[in-house]
Structure formats: structure tokens, C-alpha cells
Structure 1
Amino acid sequence: MSRITVVGSSNTDMVVKTPRFPQPGETLLGGEFFLFAGGKGANQAVAAARLGGQVRFVARVGDDVFGRQAVEGFGREGIDCSHISVDPKLASGTALITVNGEGENTIVVASGANAALSVESITKLDLEEDEYVLTQLETPLETVLELVKHTDRLILNPAPATDLPDTVFDGLFMITPNETETQLLTGVRVTDETSAAQAAELLQSKGVQHVIITLGAAGAFYLGPGTSFMTPAPRVAAVDTTAAGDVFNGALVVALARGEDIRDAIAFAVRAASVAVTRMGAQDSAPRLSDL
């Protein structure tokens, strides 16, 4: 298996369950409260490690209890933490999450030390020729742009949704947006396979080699050189969709690092995400191989 490097955020998630989301200015009495390890980068790194990946995580945490607990947790998962730096001033990242009765969520993130993950942390990396690199957008865009220069096997999960310069797409190995992120990047509202194909073609025209659009309970759509297809998701009773996309991406990169073809890799990722949504939490929901 090729080595996997995940570059991204580490957060502590504070979750409240409630029957419905509050309206602006409204206070609701919620239900259960949970404290979970999270952050898109950390979620993806843990998901990949649990599924058998040889994972190295590049991140920045605060000099506080949340940061120390996070790094200890990564070590227990067998993740290489040698490129996790500690910020002496900024707090570790946190996220406030509300989960409604249908398992949908809203998330507000305080980036903290994640916002200080510098370009220098990328230039110090010794990336192997066959190494896959996975990143997201909860760290500075400049750091992501530096990654584009350093590897031709970069998988970009463009979350949270934001505008991106065309230089990100030109020659990018793979991009994995969901419906909301796809609409922001292309202007196409994705509702079915036809609209997903239209949006994917626009991203491909910008220079992306492989486009995977995740469609929640419907599965995922793929467009690559000379081929396209839908991968349906199994029907499950969703409890919490917080880290579904992160588990999908972590599983996807593991399958690719194992040498699986793209169709099998996406099917594996869809199965992993389908298990994750049946569990509460972010990293806690990431399955192991035995769960699949």
C-alpha cells in the first residue's frame, strides 16, 4: 500500500441533539450533549487509518487540553503525528454542531490553530512518488495551493464550500464535492445523475482529472477519462451525517492506495460512509474493516 498523507484541520466537536433546528433568534431546549474529536482533516485521517491505511497527518493544534487529547487519539489509531505542530498562542479548533431529528446537521467552526497551518509545513514534507495526499478547506487556502505544486496525486475535498481560484483545478488529480459545494463551484444545482454529470463536466473542463460528486443517500457520481457512472448507496437509517463525507474520502484514498480501480474504490467509500451515518459523532463514527 502507498503511504497516505492527510493535510487538514483538527477540532473538538460539541454536539447537541434537538428535534428541529432553531429559527433565527429562537432558543430551543435540546436533548443529549456529546463531546467528540473532529475536524475534517482529523476525521479523514482517522477513517483512513481504521480502514488499514498507512497514514501521516499534517495539522496544527493549540497548547491546550483539546490539542493534547487530539494528538494522543491519533497516536492510538496508529497515525504518524510527526508533522503535527503546536501553536503557542491560538486555541485548538472547535466546532458547534446541532443535529436534528432526521440526522441532518448544522455546523459552526472556530478555526483556532487550524488557521495557522502554514505553507512551510508543506514545503518540509518529503512526498513519495506514489503517495496520495488528501486535503480539505478548513486550513488556509495558501497551504492548499502549495500542495497543488508539490504532488500530482492530490485529492481535494472542497469543504467547507468556498470559491476557489482556477489555479487549484488545473491538473488537479481528483476533487470530491457534495451537492452544495458542487453548486458553489459550478453554478449547477445537482439534483440527479444528469445534473451531476453537467457539473462534473464543468469541473473537468477546468483541468480536474477525476470528479466524484457525493449525493448523500443517493450515492456518488463519477466522471473521469473516458467514463462516468453512478454508485448507489445502501439504504440505512441515518442517525448523524456529521462525518459522512470525511469517512467517504478517508475510505476512498485507502482503496486507491491499495491499488483498487476507481469503480471499486468508490463502492468501498460509499459503503464506509453508509455505516458512519448510523452512528453518532465524527471520528467515533468511522468504521473499521470488520464493520464493512
Structure 2
Amino acid sequence: MNENNETSHRCAGSRPARPLVLCAGMAVVDFIFRVDRFPSPSTKAIAREFFVTGGGNAANATIAITRLGGRARFCGPVGDDEFGQRVLYGLLKEGVDIGGAQHVKGAPTSVSGIFVDPAGERLLTTRRAQALEKAPPPGDCARLIEGVDALLADNHFPDFVLPICRAARERNLPVVLDVDKPATEAADPLLALASHAIFSAEALRAAAAIGDLAAALERASTFCRGFVAATDGAAGALWHDGHALRRQEAFAVNAVDTLGAGDVFHAAFALALAEGRAEAEALRFASAAAALKCARFGGIVGAPARADVEQLLMKS
């Protein structure tokens, strides 16, 4: 456990002014409906608000990073359709480098339909083409990570991101893994490459086959080679410091939309590591950024600016 924690101090002596984080993984188009209640079977729910925006773990993370003052590069498979163009154009408008995007001929871009209720909770379904899941990884990972200070990868396309993670570890870069799908060491070699694995609470419980989150994290610390943590919504984040479990409390906000909060959390954490911060400080920064996202409706459109995060940290 924590044998790779030296990566968090790699840049401690000289922090990059605007570090570059490579975000590898999923990009989708989100169709977001704001409703008074979630529809139950055989009923209708009238949407009070509707809009379409880019989404997906890696794509969302790039936007969060640029708004937090870093530089971001996206790498992931997208369809060669209008939705794919829309996603990438949205990233370009945010100042994201999309040179790592891989267009998959004949494949539709992934789409999600999302209901958001007044409490900010979401109900989500995603359609992802098999052709995207089978997309070959980049041919020149060394070029892709050139100038990069940290890698953030989600595990939705494990075969695609695996060689990128391997190349980053060979460069001794922080490799932050967003474990959004259940994964164990035997089933997902990404865990062996990650210097920092951050699970969703749902994915962690499934991976460890334990209902209690603290016990599940203890179990995960035995099959993750580096730093391990779990996000748990309003309950904050739980993490293992190599000796004991610790909790980063969530910042209190009036939540109106939790969509994209996890992506903002991972992005802020990876950026903080790229800046040379230790894990505890990075978790606090990430928690503040995610909280501010929850206070704003619109998925990743509500990702906060750096100044807003720093103001919240100063007041808390």
C-alpha cells in the first residue's frame, strides 16, 4: 500500500506554473432534463429545463482543469458523427488540446440521458457503441504524454488507456485512475499501474464485495498498489494514508445538480498532484471544487473557476 506515493512529491521543489494534465477515456453528449421528480414506471415527468452539453469522465475533467487554471489534453475514442464534432468543439472552446482524440469510423458517439431532481440527484442512462469500446489505443503514447505533468484516466475503455498509463508510469508521472466501473486487481490491470486510484462508492463496494464503505476501502488497499480513496457524495471522501483510514469532509453547499461533480473532483485532484501538492491537500482542493460544482446546475457547465475554489477554501 502507498508504495508509489513519491509521485505526489515529484514536483514539490518547483511547481509548474500551468501544469498539463492528460485526460484519457470517455467523452459523451449529455441530454439533461431538470424535473420536479424522477418518473416512475408508466408515468411522465415534465421537464422544467432542458439542454445538451458535452460530458463523459475524461472530457469533463479537461474542462474542469482548464477552469481551475491548468492545461488539459484530451485523449479518447469518439464517433465520426455530428455529436462527436460537438463534443470536441466544446472542448476547444474551453482551451483544451484535443490532439489525442481518436475518431472511430462508422461509430456513433456515446450519449447519455439524464434527469436531475430539485435535490440535485440524478438518474442516468448511457448508450455506448461497441466500436468505441474496441477502439485501438494510440500508436505513440510517448508523444502523447510529452510535456505532461500528470495523467488522469477513467476505466471505461481499459484497453485504450492501458498503454497510456504504462507510458506515464515509465516516466514516473502521477497516474490518477477514476474507477467508475467495478474493478479488481485480477480483472483490471489498470489498478496495478495507478499511483492513485479513486473509486466511486458504488464501484468500490462492488469491487471489494463488501457493503460497508470503510471496510471496502481497507480491502481495496490490499489490491491497489498506490494511494486509494473513495468519493461518497455529501459524506465526503474516504482515503487510506498507508496506516489508517481518514476522511475528507464535504464542503456544505446548497446542492442543485450533482452531475459532473465526481469528474470535477478527479480533475482537481490530478491537477493538484501536478502542482506538487501532497494527497491530503489535493483531496481538500478537490472536495471544494466538487462542492461548488454541485451548487450550479448544468453538468460540467457548472465547473468552478480557480478563484471561487480558493475563496471557499479560505472561508472554511
TM-score (norm 1): 0.89
- Count of aligned pairs between the two proteins: 285
Query: Would you say 1:184 and 2:206 are equivalent positions?
Result: yes
**Gaps spanning 5+ residues in structure 1: where?**
none
For 1:171 and 1:93, the matched residues in 2 are separated by 27
* Structure 1 residues 59-74: aligned runs within 5 Å: 59-74=76-91
Structure 1 position 143, deviation (Å): 1.9
Write the deviation string for residues 97-134 of structure 1: whole angstroms up to 9, x where unpaired.
Answer: 01123211111112246435422357464435973211
Q: 1:208 matched to which residue of 2?
A: 225
Query: Would you say 1:262 and 2:283 are equivalent positions?
Result: no
Of residues 129, 134, 152 in structure 2, which corresponds to 1:134? 152
* Structure 1 residues 232-251: aligned runs within 5 Å: 232-251=249-268
* Structure 1 residues 45-64: aligned runs within 5 Å: 45-64=62-81
Task: Please tell me whether the aligned partners of residues 98 and 107 of structure 1 are also in contact (alpha carbons under 8 angstroms).
Answer: yes
Q: 1:110 matched to which residue of 2?
A: 127
Summarize the Cα distance change of 1:271–1:136 in structure 2 as closer, same or farther, 3 Å threshold.
Answer: same
Residue 135 of structure 1 aligns with an amino acid whose one-letter code is A
Write the deviation string for residues 64-114 of structure 1: whole angstroms up to 9, x where unpaired.
Answer: 332222222222222111111223311222111011232111111122464
Q: 2:179 matched to which residue of 1?
A: 158
SS at match of 1:259: coil
Query: Would you say 1:8 and 2:25 are equivalent positions?
Result: yes
* Structure 1 residues 18-37: aligned runs within 5 Å: 18-37=35-54
For 1:135 and 1:171, the matched residues in 2 are separated by 11
Task: Please tell me whether the aligned partners of residues 13 and 35 of structure 1 are also in contact (alpha carbons under 8 angstroms).
Answer: yes
TM-score (norm 2): 0.82
For 1:163 and 1:176, the matched residues in 2 are separated by 11
Task: Please tell me whether the aligned partners of residues 33 and 47 of structure 2 are also in contact (alpha carbons under 8 angstroms).
Answer: yes
SS at match of 1:155: strand
Q: 1:80 matched to which residue of 2?
A: 97
For 2:263 and 2:278, the matched residues in 1 are separated by 20
Q: Which moved more, 1:172-181 or 1:262-271?
A: 172-181
Task: Please tell me whether the aligned partners of residues 61 and 86 of structure 1 are also in contact (alpha carbons under 8 angstroms).
Answer: yes
Of residues 31, 38, 41 in structure 1, which corresponds to 2:55? 38
SS at match of 2:58: helix
SS at match of 1:120: coil
Structure 1 position 9, deviation (Å): 1.4
Structure 1 position 148, deviation (Å): 4.1
Summarize the Cα distance change of 1:121–1:227 in structure 2 as closer, same or farther, 3 Å threshold.
Answer: farther
**Gaps spanning 5+ residues in structure 2: where?**
1-15, 310-316
SS at match of 1:149: helix
SS at match of 2:53: strand
SS at match of 1:32: strand
For 2:140 and 2:116, the matched residues in 1 are separated by 35
Task: Please tell me whether the aligned partners of residues 169 and 203 of structure 1 are also in contact (alpha carbons under 8 angstroms).
Answer: no
Task: Please tell me whether the aligned partners of residues 95 and 107 of structure 1 are also in contact (alpha carbons under 8 angstroms).
Answer: yes
Summarize the Cα distance change of 1:63–1:285 in structure 2 as closer, same or farther, 3 Å threshold.
Answer: same
For 1:78 and 1:30, the matched residues in 2 are separated by 32
For 1:166 and 1:80, the matched residues in 2 are separated by 28
Q: Which moved more, 1:169-178 or 1:113-122?
A: 113-122
How large is the Cα RMSD of the aligned pairs?
Answer: 2.2
Residue 176 of structure 1 aligns with an amino acid whose one-letter code is I
For 1:171 and 1:94, the matched residues in 2 are separated by 29
Summarize the Cα distance change of 1:135–1:69 in structure 2 as closer, same or farther, 3 Å threshold.
Answer: same
